[in-house]
Amino acid sequence: MSQRDYYEVLGVPKGASADDIRKAYRGLVRKLHPDVNKAPDAQKKFTEVQEAYDVLSDDAKRKLYDQFGQAGVKGAPPPQGARPGGRSYVDVNGINMDDEELKEVFESIFGGAGMGGGFGGGRARGARPGRGPQPAPDETLRHELLVSFEAAARGSLETVRLTTSDGSTKSIEVKVPPGVDDGTQLRVRASRTMPEVLITVRIGAHPLYRRGEFAETGKGLDLFMDLPLTIAEATLGAALNVPTLWGGVEVSVPPGTGSGRKLRLRGKGLRDEKGREGDLYLIAKVVTPTCPLSAPEQAMLREMCEREPSPRLGAGWPRG
């Protein structure tokens, strides 16, 4: 029998509630069970934890222990199949565990009940012969992964460093598919001994492109890009070299292009892993001169505008 203080073994204060004791016990069982922990002293620590829990989880034994220490609870274990409160138990690796505790242990280690004898027959869910222990489903890790706009457009392999529930850190590789939407969740299982990881993809902004005409919605394969034009380019038309994710292309701007007009470049948007392609929309933005105009230039501009009808002739605009 262990000589350490039982409260110390479970890592709880002397006044801990029954729920706190049970929670601490379950965490230690998950960590130290010999089917999971292959350290040389794992079996000894596991037995010590079970011994402490056997006493502190029983109100009568706990009172005796609090009053007299281990001397108050020493003696032979209760006969197989009986325990205070009418709880039956079975023997696991020489450790007495009742049906409910055994179920919790195997649920935490193998990911589901199913060892027979009081809580369902058959093989444990998620545990196949020869595959070893499976992580508990409630140990799913969550992580947000920020990737660049270009990486999300082309797809990438990202390295993610995670902190698991036991405090250890592990690095896993996450495949980000091309054309992924912002907020997409990827489920990753790095190994049989690691819990499932739920990765939420967050996509960084781009200085030119956006997924959404008026806001960065972060979804869809179509891209939108503002195309600044001088008054001369918009009025007379121009041939411009425009960058895309897939290389520069020459774009013909028709004469008389006004702000807000869309020029569509087919297949120059995002592309996903299924081979679908989006389009790139160039939205014309006419930019007025920032340099001061000379008197002759101002006069020429006014004369040119006087030959044009007013742009404010639609419904609702006053006449004159």
In DSSP terms, 97 is beta-bridged to 90
Whole-angstrom distance, CA of residue 177 vs CA of residue 187: 13
pTM value surpassing 0.75: no
How many CA atoms lie within 13 Å of 190's alpha carbon, on the beta-carbon side?
19
Whole-angstrom distance, CA of residue 223 vs CA of residue 279: 6
Label residues 6-45 b or e (16+ Cβ within 10 Å = b). bbebbebeeebeeeebbebbbbbbbbbbebbeeeeebbeb
The CATH homologous superfamily to which domain 209-304 belongs is Urease metallochaperone UreE, N-terminal domain (2.60.260.20)
The single residue listed with the structure tokens 């079975």 is 90
The CATH code of the domain at 6-110 is 1.10.287.110
Whole-angstrom distance, CA of residue 198 vs CA of residue 121: 30
Q: pLDDT tens digits, the chain, 320 residues: what are they?
A: 457 888 998 899 988 998 888 888 888 877 877 666 778 887 788 888 888 888 888 888 888 888 878 777 765 344 344 444 434 443 444 444 454 555 555 454 444 444 444 333 333 333 344 444 444 444 678 889 999 999 999 999 999 888 776 777 888 889 999 999 998 999 887 666 677 889 999 999 999 999 976 655 678 899 999 999 999 999 999 999 999 999 999 999 999 999 999 999 999 999 999 999 999 999 999 999 889 999 999 999 899 888 888 888 888 888 76
| Numbers of helices and strands, H then E, in the chain | 8, 13
Q: How far is CA 67 from CA 11, 22, 71, in A?
A: 20, 21, 10
Decide the pairing of beta strands 89-92 and 169-176.
unpaired
The CATH code of the domain at 140-203 is 2.60.260.20
- Which SS3 state, helix, strand or coil, does residue 142 take? strand
**Is-contact 221 277, C-beta < 8 A?**
yes
Largest Cα separation within the chain, whole Å, is: 111
Same fold, 140-203 and 209-304: yes
The alpha carbon of 102 is separated from its chain's Cα centroid by a whole number of angstroms, namely: 32
Q: Where are the alpha helices (DSSP H) in the chain?
A: 6-10, 18-32, 42-56, 59-68, 99-110, 149-154, 231-236, 295-306
| Structural domain spans, the chain | 6-110, 140-203, 209-304
Other Cβ atoms closer than 10 A to 73: 20
